[in-house]
A and B are shown apart, each in its own frame.
Chain A
Amino acid sequence: MRRGLGLLAAALACAAPRARAQDSVFGIRGLGFLDEPLTGRSAGMGGGYAMFDGGAATSPASIAAWTGSVGWAVGAASRRSFDPGTGTQSLTSTRFPLFGFSTPLSPRLVVGLTASDYFDRNWSVEQSDTVALRDSAVAATDATTSAGGITDLRAAAAYRVSEQWAVGLGLHVLTGSAVTTVRRDFPADTAYHSFQERSSTDYSGVGLSVGAFVAPAPALILGASARFNARLKATSADTSVRIRMPVELAAGVYYAPLPSLIVSSTVRYSTWGAAASDLVAAGQERSRDVWSVGVGLQAASLRMAGQTVPLRLGYRWRQLPFLIGGDALNEHAFTAGLGLAAARGHANMDVAVELGSRSTGVLTERFTTAIVGVSIQP
């Protein structure tokens, strides 16, 4: 048990300065790159299990699945490749997008806290050009870097109404900041000095989510959730804007036709188009309503070291809300994973790998992400 807690502490220590999920070059637009933090288990099933995953922040009713106190953390290391037309660029990042803790207050009532990435604003763009200065052509290199993001803090409570029903309620606080730095260097002319300036933007907002599960048959669970967000306030040193936020609807199905086989799917719809006018007014490109679909299966068929190890496969597809140069951005990924248990199930680790891409117009970013989730149940 102490060993498991040590792992969690190590993850937390590294996460402190940058608790973010996947980066993307497309995070430069809108509010950033929209995250969907998943546990290792859900990630391995293409996000199809997210609606029912007690560790995910999709539905507040999902924490009703916990029967004891539990803490969990997720780390994700991603390698990306992006070709802007001048050659493939390899990018790497390691983030810790999801932490949580949950405990039953009574046999029917479970409460929990999660901290998950909502928007990632980590990106860096470098351009070289020649500018005319004092009757001469001077080579200049511009670098614009953003570091930060918006975190979703959720306090949730779930109540098991009966063996067939569970409901949940979540209160969300969106908080975070991003520091943008612009820098111009004149690498070939020392007569010109470098310029650098930075600006910080703080974000704040609140939301409310509700969710419910129903089990109409012994091997079937249906779930639904809705999240309502107040406007997001973005404040810099001299400007403050409010952005309308979407209503996020989700529905899911969990079906276990065999004791060793689970099939699950989650579908989401978010009215991000509501933010379009505010974004355009702030000089950004407009946003759109988006769909997200994940489907996966888990088969507990592999035996390793005397244990049954569940294997997972999945596929997910989603639309991203912010347009890139007027074009829509979509993402899809194939996923696979497995789960490992220790200490008689008190310590669990889920490992998943995603292979996918996101593209808009002629631009494509391919990614491979390794996701490791650890949960500890004392």
Chain B
Amino acid sequence: MARTFAWPSAGAAALLAALAACGTDITTPGHCPELCPQNSIQLADTLLASPVLSDTSVRGYLLVREASYLLASDLDSLKSLVLLQFQPLPTKWTVGTDSATLGVVDSVRVSLSVLQRDTAAKGLRVVFRRLPARFDTGATYDNIQPYFADSTLWDTSAAGEIPDTLVAGAVTLTAPDTLQPLAGDSGIVSLGIALVSGTPTALAIGSGAENTGTTGPYLYFYVRGHLIADTLHRDTLSKVLSLQPTFATFVMSPDPGQPASGVLAVGGIPTARATLRLGLPKEVVDSNAIVRGTLILSTLDPVGGFARDSFLLAAQPLLRDNGPKSILYPDSTISGVTWLHPGQTGQVQLDITRLLRLWGSTTGDSLPRTLVLRLVPEGRLLSAVSFRGAVSGAGAPQLRVTYVRRYAFGVP
């Protein structure tokens, strides 16, 4: 009996060995025409000269006060001033379990975080002006001018220069003793910052705005005081009080305003986005057979921004087309992106293959055939670009699509 059951054991081993080879490799190089499929993949390439049915550009997606930077500029094309309102200077501070009372201010220093500057512009100076403690936060470049022009205002032009070698980093300037809260201002100091240089240029400093990851301006008050219990008021206690802005913005001239009709304005501050509503042939939209789709745009002006500070232009699909308040499609990997370089002119090509494929898929079928042009990230240093719109004739947006014609599988 035991002898006969040896055969199933050997058989099991043989069968298991066969089963272990369950893997399959059946791919062969094609030997055409004998052993190739009856039909082959056919590609088509077409240039859609007028794929955009309508376009609009709206500015205001990211406001100046939400930007990561504050801009001081004396460029001919753009003049801007920085406006800062700091936290009130406290009159008391805690010392252990006791409190101290502010006595005298020994000195004041201002710290700025330089984000970007043109190193070709030498002898860069920042000029601080005292603004009314509670200045109008809706101030414009024009109506803030008196505070920068009136010679009776405090001028800190002697505070120091921005080192010519500095591209980015913190700069701390010593302010005159007069930079203290004025009586009746409840300890609030407000400052305006202008830029003075031999050649027109611009300086971007960190705003410290929420979610921007930047460090804003600081005021450091080096003070002395005394414990409240000290009836002799001997100001023997030293303290450095650092104050952040409660409001930080900048005003510009000319005001960017809303983009002109027929212009695809993207970026800048407040940031602009351009919306393109496309009319695409059935073979382009209703298929996932697109292997390459390129949106071709023509710049209206040279790309704006700091020299050598390239940035990304993105074409992003929409979840809902509600005009300026449209909802962007949440998956940013679908977007088409390309780098733009300040000063760049001519054609800009965006690969929007994934976007077109999304529209051809089951999940993307119900999405509006609309895309939004925006910068990534938005609100970046002076980055802006304008393209010719759909009514621009020769410079209007075009779409070049390479796709696979319907494949004839054949039956049987």
Tell me if A's interface is mostly helix, strand, loop or mixed.
Answer: strand
From the candidates A4, A25, A28, name the one contacting B37 in the complex (CB within 8 A). Answer: A28
Expressed in whole angstroms, the Cα–Cα distance for A95 and B30 within the complex equals: 23
Within 8 A of B (CB), among A173-226: 180, 182, 184, 186, 191-195, 197, 199, 201, 203
Q: Are B37 and A125 in contact (CB under 8 A)?
A: yes
Minimum C-beta distance from B339 to chain A (A): 15
Mask: chain A, 158-184; 1 = CB below 8 Å from B; 0 = not = 000000000000000000000010101
List chain B residues, Cβ under 8 A from A7.
Answer: 8, 11-12, 15
The stretch from B162-170, B208-216, B404-412 touching chain A is B404-412
List chain A residues, Cβ under 8 A from B292.
Answer: 133-134, 191-193
Task: Name the residue of chain A whose CB is nearest to the CB of B30.
Answer: A127
Task: Name the residue of chain A whose CB is nearest to the CB of B354.
Answer: A193
Q: Are B4 and A342 in contact (CB under 8 A)?
A: yes
List chain A residues, Cβ under 8 A from B289.
Answer: 195, 197
Does residue A11 face the partner (Cβ distance < 8 Å to B)? yes
Q: Are A182 and B18 in contact (CB under 8 A)?
A: no
Minimum C-beta distance from B45 to chain A (A): 6
The stretch from A58-66, A234-242, A254-262, A291-299 touching chain B is A234-242
List chain B residues, Cβ under 8 A from A191.
Answer: 292, 351
A182-B41, A243-B412, A351-B14 given; A193·B35 CB < 8 A: no
List chain A residues, Cβ under 8 A from B24.
Answer: 18, 23, 92-94, 122
Does residue A302 face the partner (Cβ distance < 8 Å to B)? no
Most B CB within 10 A of own CB, among A142, A197, A306, A360: A197
A94-B21, A133-B43, A195-B291 given; A127·B15 CB < 8 A: no
Within 8 A of B (CB), among A12-42: 14, 18, 23, 25-26, 28, 30-31
Does residue A137 face the partner (Cβ distance < 8 Å to B)? no
Minimum C-beta distance from A35 to chain B (A): 15
List chain B residues, Cβ under 8 A from A282.
Answer: 410-412
Task: Name the residue of chain A whose CB is nearest to the CB of B41.
Answer: A184
List chain A residues, Cβ under 8 A from B15.
Answer: 7, 10-11, 75, 349, 372, 374
Does residue B3 face the partner (Cβ distance < 8 Å to A)? yes
From the candidates A11, A192, A234, A327, name the one contacting B291 in the complex (CB within 8 A). Answer: A192
Does residue B151 face the partner (Cβ distance < 8 Å to A)? no
Expressed in whole angstroms, the Cα–Cα distance for A372 and B20 within the complex equals: 13
Does residue B230 face the partner (Cβ distance < 8 Å to A)? no
How many residues of B sit at the interface, in one of the four size bands?
Answer: 35 or more
Does residue A131 face the partner (Cβ distance < 8 Å to B)? yes
Q: Are A284 and B8 in contact (CB under 8 A)?
A: no
List chain A residues, Cβ under 8 A from B4.
Answer: 307, 341-344
A134-B400, A282-B411, A370-B18 given; A126·B5 CB < 8 A: no
Task: Name the residue of chain B whose CB is nearest to the CB of A283.
Answer: B410
Expressed in whole angstroms, the Cα–Cα distance for A290 and B409 within the complex equals: 27
Does residue B38 face the partner (Cβ distance < 8 Å to A)? yes
From the candidates A93, A305, A306, name the one contacting B26 in the complex (CB within 8 A). Answer: A93
Does residue B231 face the partner (Cβ distance < 8 Å to A)? no
Mask: chain B, 27-67; 1 = CB below 8 Å from A; 0 = not = 11111111111101101010000000000000000000000
List chain A residues, Cβ under 8 A from B260.
Answer: none
The stretch from A44-52, A78-86, A100-108 touching chain B is A78-86
Q: Are A195 and B404 in contact (CB under 8 A)?
A: yes
Does residue B183 face the partner (Cβ distance < 8 Å to A)? no
Minimum C-beta distance from A7 to chain B (A): 6
Minimum C-beta distance from A45 to chain B (A): 19
Does residue B149 face the partner (Cβ distance < 8 Å to A)? no
Minimum C-beta distance from B19 to chain A (A): 5
Q: Are B7 and A342 in contact (CB under 8 A)?
A: yes
Which 4 A-B pairs rank lowest in CB-CB distance, beginning with the nearest? A84-B31, A325-B34, A234-B412, A127-B30
**Known contacts A91-B27, A92-B23; 9 further A-B pairs (Cβ under 8 A):** A4-B8, A7-B15, A28-B35, A126-B27, A134-B402, A186-B291, A193-B292, A203-B412, A325-B33
B→A interface (CB under 8 Å) = 3-8, 10-12, 14-16, 18-19, 21-38, 40-41, 43, 45, 288-292, 351, 353-354, 357, 400, 402, 404, 407, 409-412
A→B interface (CB under 8 Å) = 3-4, 7, 10-11, 14, 18, 23, 25-26, 28, 30-31, 75, 77, 82, 84-86, 89-94, 122-127, 131, 133-134, 142-145, 180, 182, 184, 186, 191-195, 197, 199, 201, 203, 232, 234-236, 239-241, 243, 279, 282-284, 305-307, 324-325, 327, 340-344, 347, 349, 351, 360-361, 363, 370, 372, 374
A and B contact pairs by CB, cutoff 8 A, 11 listed: A7-B11, A125-B37, A127-B29, A134-B402, A144-B37, A184-B291, A193-B353, A284-B410, A325-B34, A342-B4, A360-B34
